[in-house]
Chain A
Amino acid sequence: MTAEPILLLDRITKRFGAITANEDVTVSLAQGEVLALLGENGAGKTTLMNILFGHYVPDSGSVRVAGRALRLGVPRDAIDAGVGMVHQHFTLAPNLTVLENVMTGTERLSAWRSGAAAARSRLAKLAERFGLVVDPDARVSDLSVGQQQRVEILKALYNNARILILDEPTAVLTRGEAERLFDTLRGMAGQGLSIIFISHKLHEVMAGADRVIVLRGGRVSAERRTADTNQAELAELMVGRRVQRPVRAARPVGEVLIEARAADVPMPGGVPLRAVDFTLRAAEVLGIIGVSGNGQTTLAHLLSGLARPKAGQVSILGRDAAGLDARAMVGLGVGRIPEDRNTEGAVGDFPLWQNAVLERLGDPRFARRGLVRRGAARAFCADVARRFDLRGGGPETQTRRLSGGNMQKLILGRNLADAPRVLIAAQPTRGLDEGAIAAVHAALLAAAEAGTGVVLISEDLDEVIALADRAQAIVGGRLSPPVEADRLDATRLGLMMAGSWEGLADAV
């Protein structure tokens, strides 16, 4: 190791009331190194980075860049010292061009004229040097998510960043984009930049980092060189116990529950479905794999009662989907896990018990003669919490206070509590940490075991391979022919997602 680390967070401790977010955390970063900060949600990764950037003042500890101590709680100090941050949620102005976004905040308001020409050539040099090609005159709103991230990185570099912090950089990227990002980061490290990325995904830590620091419960639980460790060990270090994602076992399947034949589903402002065919039987998991933005939302809405087929035939539990709305779906026994749990899944300001029963107000158990049966609703909520290990509050807790994993348990639980005949699970583990993913997978498999037909819409190859009995790829609003579980592997699924469907039909 070189004599002096370029960045040293020394023995940082930060408490919020009774909660200790960071305790005696030390992180050092060498020049030209890629370091991963691995930890579950709530392990203290973001707090630590906020301290580095002066957004929080630590209770004790110091931050040094190239040997010089930063004043704590002064964001400008970190930026001036050459620390750049790429946030998980981008901080770009969508109505401005790439060049304008990069220049924002670098010019004095009192300047006589804009230095756009000089900025343009400097941006071009940076883009070439680090392989971050993007049109400087394109509007940010016209760029893909991956390109927007490149703009964020360029913006940090333009501000003379020597140390780059990326917060969950792959959360919004497709697998291909993520691989390209890590290639870029490697190249940048090779040119002397130092990089920290925050993640809770094991495979990308193994692929992208030289060294990994694992945080658990606010403390550093381990530090490893990626060459000396493996995913299983990291998972255990991160969660504190052995985590085993459950894997499907072969089951006999039952009668047909959902059948779609040449169905067209329009979707204003989204991707419509065109001539899709699929069949769901009892006690099976049908995986729908695809890069997001290929019509998954439309399919989930169709099966949740929010969108209707315009042509073709879709029957759900023997009823024509053209006549089913959300309330009718719930009444039929269709459980629905929405794609976005924060917007569609729950009303954040409601107490838990109200979110537990909001979609069941047509059920006489929870509402009679226009009156909500609060006692029964609270009992149902408490029952869901108990059976699905929901922690972080009781029936009266405000829902927005739950972690993502616990909110997903609430949504899963309210659907599975009554053993639905069909379960539509749209991106059920998106954004969850390893422990919560295992819990969701176990619940889905248990439901299928008990006879529920599960439609699993996912963009995670490993998830589909682990859970699905059959899988179809969704590409541009069309569905591939189904492939049976014993023929599913990452390569074949990857090809299917890319639209190569030849030779699949024989599997039907």
Chain B
Amino acid sequence: MRFERRERAPAVLVVLAPVVAVVVALILAGGLIALSGAPVFEAYGRIAIGAFGSKLAITETLTRATPLILTGLAAAVAFRAQVWNIGAEGQLYAGALAVAWFGAANPLGLPPGLLIPALMAAGAVAGMILLVVPVALRLRFGVDEVVTTLLGNFIVLLFVSLAVEGFLKDPMAFGWPQSVPIVPEASLPRIVDRSRLHLGLVIAAGLAVAVFFINRVTVFGMQSRAAGLNPAAARFAGVPISGTLIRVACLSGGLAGLAGAVEVLGVKGFVTTDLSPGFGYSGIIVAMLAALNPLGVVAAALFVAAMFVGADGMSRTMGVPSFIADVTVSLSLLTMLVALFFTTYRVRR
């Protein structure tokens, strides 16, 4: 048996690959559910009900998908230019912290229409800085950004811990380590009554469309992909490599920072060290499931969010640990990598 590169990946396969990957991941995880003694189909039924079974379930899934869309986009734009940003988690916390810090008071008396965009920009800039530094280190000294961005996550999280235990600690929170809440007028408006679903979802979906067009039709989109795929050819063609990759870092880090900002402004209202259940890392899976396509990121984020929200509901009624969601999502990354292989190669005897 040997593998041959396909002439070009058939469109059907490209669309089918993530679907097949997810189905295979569900089958494999089904084995684990069976091992824990629960009926597999009922468990999956419960997950579906938990994720989509009621208005509340749907809004919860969409709320959970919002930061995943943003971190997924962050990973997708970076990976497309071969900037290996593993630091979306840290950039998310940096964005959240910046928002909580500046949003704790409104000394200028800005109206929400100005205050919210200003705070979101602050969150995005915080995320940008956190990625521009590692990328600049790579360009200048050849430091591997996988290592710097990954380790940066822990530094940022410890800094957040320092802040919420110290200078940003909310004195009214009965000693809980959380930051001073943002002023009420900074909260993102709800888009569905009696739910937590907020305007962030619309912003995230809009950004997915924007990134799609940036990739597809802009000079920057073409140059960043060239710089990632073949830096020598890009340099020969006059593409400014450093400038292009720094701009990629700004876009990617900014999107991840925005994820944190939106989570604080739309859901929590303050920062804690468990603000994110791994949104930054799950974003990598989302991006891979979407094969780095920005519109696919929205669908992949919905799948991952539904697994997490649904598994919580399932575990309450059936006693299967909700870790099954982590396992399924992680398995789907592995099966997607295999599926991607088969979209570019065909099998020969």
Contacts and interface: CB of A to CB of B under 8 A. Distances in A.
Contact of B226 (A305, A306, A328, A358): A358
Interface string B312-349: 00000000000000000000000000000000000010
Given A361-B222, A370-B220, A398-B8, A343 B238 contact: no
A367 B236 contact: no
9 contacts: A305-B238, A306-B235, A338-B236, A345-B233, A358-B234, A361-B223, A370-B218, A371-B217, A371-B219
Interface in B208-245: 217-223, 225-226, 229-230, 232-239
Nearest to A362: B238
A346 interface: yes
Interface stretch (A103-111, A277-285, A347-355, A454-462): A347-355
Contact of A344 (B7, B219, B221, B236): B236
Interface in A462-490: none
A357 to B, nearest CB: 9
B293 to A, nearest CB: 15
Interface in A344-383: 344-350, 354, 358-359, 361-362, 367, 370-372, 374
Contact of A326 (B221, B223, B230, B237): B237
Contacts of B274: none
Interface residues of B, number: 23
B4 interface: yes
B226 A350 contact: yes
Contacts of A370: 218-220
Contacts of B220: 370
Contacts, number: 74
Contact of A354 (B222, B235, B348): B222
A309 B219 CA distance: 30
A348 B221 CA distance: 17
Contact of B229 (A305, A328, A347, A374): A347
A296 interface: no
B236 A336 contact: yes
A347 B230 contact: yes
A374 B226 CA distance: 16
Nearest to B236: A344
A359 B218 contact: no
A16 B4 contact: yes
B235 A326 contact: yes
A64 to B, nearest CB: 24
B238 A327 contact: yes
Interface string A368-411: 00111010000000000000000000000110010000000000
A326 to B, nearest CB: 4
A30 interface: no
Interface in B8-44: 8
Given A347-B233, A350-B225, 14 more contacts: A16-B4, A306-B235, A306-B236, A326-B236, A327-B238, A328-B238, A344-B236, A348-B229, A349-B229, A358-B234, A361-B223, A370-B219, A371-B219, A372-B217
B230 A367 contact: no
A330 interface: yes
Contacts of A361: 219, 222-223
A344 B232 contact: yes
Contact of B222 (A325, A362, A372, A398): A372
